[in-house]
Amino acid sequence: MIDEELKLDNQLCFRLYTASRLLTQAYHPLLSDHGLTYPQYLVLLVLWEKDAQPVNDIAKRLYLETNTVTPLLQRMEKEGIIIRNKGEKDARQMIISLTRKGKELRKKLADVPSIVGNAVICESVTKETAPELFRMLDDIILKLSNP
């Protein structure tokens, strides 16, 4: 007899993993038409909020390590979406800025959040309950990122 705690259906991690994977899949057709991956889209979201940021700040904002973000940024630079420049104050620091193409993608992808948002609206997740879900997920993220 298996313990209730060890059943797959009783694992929060499995639900979060599955929801995350399926949500990422929902973005795929919307982004692939523009040659983007979901992680690249996340970088764009960060840079659309504030352009010209150090790699470390982008990585921190995405809860990723810089060695994970760097190859992603290199690919984005090859595709002409961003440009990487050495910092003026500290040449060891790499500053990431949007190119014209990167800025134009903001207009082209403006409907993505509402399209995906509407795709997840269901009986328990509505426009009214979404802020509470965000708060709960933010609490989990905060707790796990500061053990």
CATH number belonging to domain 36-99: 1.10.10.10
Query: How much is the pLDDT for 97?
Result: 98
Tokens linked to 3:
């313990």
Q: What is the pLDDT of residues 54-77, one digit of tens each?
A: 999 999 999 999 999 999 999 999
pLDDT score of 3 more than 80: yes
Q: What is the DSSP string of 80-142?
A: TSEEEEE-SS-TTSEEEEE-HHHHHHHHHTTTHHHHHHHHH--SS--TTTHHHHHHHHHHHHH
pLDDT band at 14 (very low <50, low <70, confident <90, very high): very high
Percent of the chain residues topping a pLDDT of 70: 99
By DSSP bridging, strand 53-54 and strand 82-86 are unpaired
Spell out where 18-80 has E strands.
53-54
Query: How much is the pLDDT for 39?
Result: 97
Query: How much is the pLDDT for 140?
Result: 96
The mean pLDDT of the chain is: 95
Exposure letters 66-78 (e unless 16+ CB within 10 A, then b): eeebbebbeebee
Is the Cβ–Cβ distance between 23 and 113 less than 8 Å? no
Q: What 3-state class would DSSP assign to 67?
A: helix
List the chain domain ranges. Answer: 36-99
pLDDT score of 32 more than 70: yes
Query: How much is the pLDDT for 86?
Result: 87
Q: What is the pLDDT of residues 87-103, one digit of tens each?
A: 787 778 899 999 999 99
Distance (Å, whole) CA 67 – CA 55: 10
Query: How much is the pLDDT for 1?
Result: 61
